[in-house]
Amino acid sequence: MDGTNAPPLLALAEVRKSYNLGQPNEAEVLHGVDLRIAAGEFAALIGPSGSGKSTLLNIVGLLERMTSGRYEIAGRPVQDHDDDGLTELRRSTFGFVFQFHHLLPAFSALENVTLPALARDGRIGRRVAQRGRALLDAVGLAEAMDKRPSQLSGGMQQRVAIARALVLEPALVLADEPTGNLDTASADDVFALLRSIHADAGTSFLVVTHDPRMAARCDRIVELVDGRIARDGPMTAA
């Protein structure tokens, strides 16, 4: 955090999310959540299954709309954007890493990394291709750029997914159980990579994890219980 009067990277206030609105089975899963993420933070989002973590992450990442509340990115409200505006804002602000890497099997590692640029621009420019190569080198896959996912281990595939999340230079990476499908050694390596990227580039991270070992390696813990923030503070305060 820079200590200036700049607004936080993102700020949610009194955010609620309900499903099946107006139906007998209507259910509210987020009950007035307040959350602020500053530039350069590395935070964990934890909580029991069914607490609303994935829903909250999807709202933060503009993959779902909130039912009510206020959400600002860099001080600008997002709730009035139409679908096209939200798509552009999502592409320009966030990178996503999921538990399952979702790599396209027919594409090489480099082609998978540069796919977000193809979706955004309809082409892969020279600068993006160069960045894709540099990112694969940075995640230790310089020798695997032309290999397809089936030729890579699970940990290597997740490294490709991390490079893909970074190719458009997002301000914030949202990682949903990024090590949940890996063995312990690979999980440790992938998490160390995320911390290294954070240290080197200053990219912000919000990491959903069930693993207390991984949460303990974050700077801040946000705990969600039954759709409400139950705890929010630095790891040393846990």
What is the token pair recorded at 152?
Answer: 């890579």
Asked whether residue 27 is assigned to any structural domain, the reply reads yes
Residue 136 within a domain: no
CB 204 within 8 A of CB 26: no
pLDDT at position 238, please? 42
The CA-based angle 60-62-63, given to 5 degrees, is: 110
Q: Is residue 128 part of a domain?
A: no
Check residue 1 and give its pLDDT. Answer: 45
pLDDT in tens, the chain (238 residues): 444 567 789 999 999 999 888 888 889 899 999 999 999 999 999 998 888 898 999 999 999 999 999 999 988 898 778 888 888 888 888 998 887 778 899 999 999 999 888 777 787 888 888 989 988 988 888 899 999 999 998 888 888 988 898 888 888 999 888 877 777 887 888 888 888 888 888 889 999 988 888 888 899 999 999 999 998 988 764 4
pLDDT at position 4 is 55
- Domain of 41, in residue numbers: 10-103+153-237
In this prediction, residue 10 carries a pLDDT of: 93
Does 168 map to a domain?
A: yes
Q: Is residue 110 a part of any domain in this protein? A: no
Is the whole-model pTM more than 0.75?
yes
Residue 188 domain-assigned (yes or no):
yes
Measured between alpha carbons, how far is 28 from 45 in angstroms, rounded to an integer?
A: 19
Number of domains forming the structure of the chain: 1
CATH number of the CATH domain containing 45: 3.40.50.300
- Report yes or no on 113 lying in a domain: no
